[in-house]
């Protein structure tokens, strides 16, 4: 995932154009906000409305539009590791990348879950629980944790992978070829994604609370 660099400036310093800097080249100088890693992230965001429209146009008929939508979702999810790899290897981390990367993840997974619920293929309560957790933690990170960093846990990483796999299985109409039993696999994956989403969210809040306590103790009286 695309990361961020500290672009803070001294008070009174002239404003710097965030689009100036390295776009692709590796180096130590300032990276442009429009670098290749962030471009990949933006492309991921732009793919979301495309596959959403295709799913809605298919309207549950499981035709070629649904397959195209499913392929686009998988492509967008896979590129989640591409933008981060580019940002780290080429030192293209920016503050913009820190903001838009989690947004891209939530737009993709949230959009897919919402449309699948509209189509009646995923219960609304599951979609709501997952979205409340994802959006809530993201907002919490940006507002309450601006001055500290909570490292991603292995459980959070597993949650992300399971979510992607569960949604991908739900998007591809594999029951056309494998039979209705595949729906049981889809259901198990979805429930597992739900459980991991809730547990990892609780774990994140606990870790944030612990970090907050340590920081308060370290402050002078």
Token pair of 187, please? Answer: 């259901």
Assess whether pLDDT exceeds 90 at residue 1: no
Give the number of other CB atoms < 10 A from CB of residue 167. 26
Report the CATH number of the 36-218 domain.
1.20.120.1760
The β-bridge partners of 31 are 22
Residue 114 has pLDDT above 90, yes or no: yes
- Span 82-108, mean pLDDT? 79
* Tokens standing for residue 128: 């709501």
Q: Within a 10 A sphere around the Cβ of 81, how many other Cβ atoms?
A: 10
Residue-level pLDDT at 220: 36
Q: What is the mean pLDDT of residues 179-197?
A: 93
How many residues make up the chain in this entry? 221
Cα(208)–Cα(89) distance, rounded to whole angstroms? 29
Q: What is the pLDDT of residues 120-179, one digit of tens each?
A: 999 999 999 999 999 998 888 777 656 665 656 788 889 989 999 999 999 999 888 888
- Tell me what pLDDT residue 146 has: 62
Do residues 19 and 34 make contact, with C-beta atoms less than 8 angstroms apart? yes
Q: Show the beta-strand stretches assigned E in the chain.
A: none
Domain ranges across the chain: 36-218
């Amino acid at each position: 995932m695309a990361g961020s660099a500290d672009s803070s400036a001294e008070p009174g310093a002239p404003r710097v154009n965030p689009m100036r800097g390295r776009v692709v080249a590796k180096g130590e100088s300032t990276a442009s906000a429009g670098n290749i890693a962030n471009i990949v992230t933006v492309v991921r965001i732009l793919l979301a409305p495309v596959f959403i429209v295709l799913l809605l146009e298919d309207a549950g008929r499981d035709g070629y539009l649904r397959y195209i939508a499913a392929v686009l979702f998988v492509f967008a999810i896979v590129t989640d590791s591409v933008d981060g790899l580019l940002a780290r290897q080429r030192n293209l981390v920016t503050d913009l990348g820190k903001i838009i990367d989690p947004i891209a993840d939530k737009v993709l997974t949230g959009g897919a879950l919402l449309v699948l619920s509209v189509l009646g293929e995923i219960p609304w309560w599951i979609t709501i629980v997952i979205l409340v957790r994802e959006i809530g933690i993201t907002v919490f990170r940006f507002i309450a944790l601006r001055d500290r960093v909570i490292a991603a846990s292995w459980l959070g990483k597993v949650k992300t992978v399971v979510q992607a796999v569960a949604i991908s299985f739900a998007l591809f109409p594999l029951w056309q070829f494998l039979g209705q039993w595949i729906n049981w696999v889809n259901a198990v994956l979805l429930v597992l994604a739900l459980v991991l989403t809730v547990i990892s969210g609780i774990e994140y809040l606990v870790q944030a609370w612990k970090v907050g306590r340590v920081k308060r103790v370290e402050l002078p009286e």
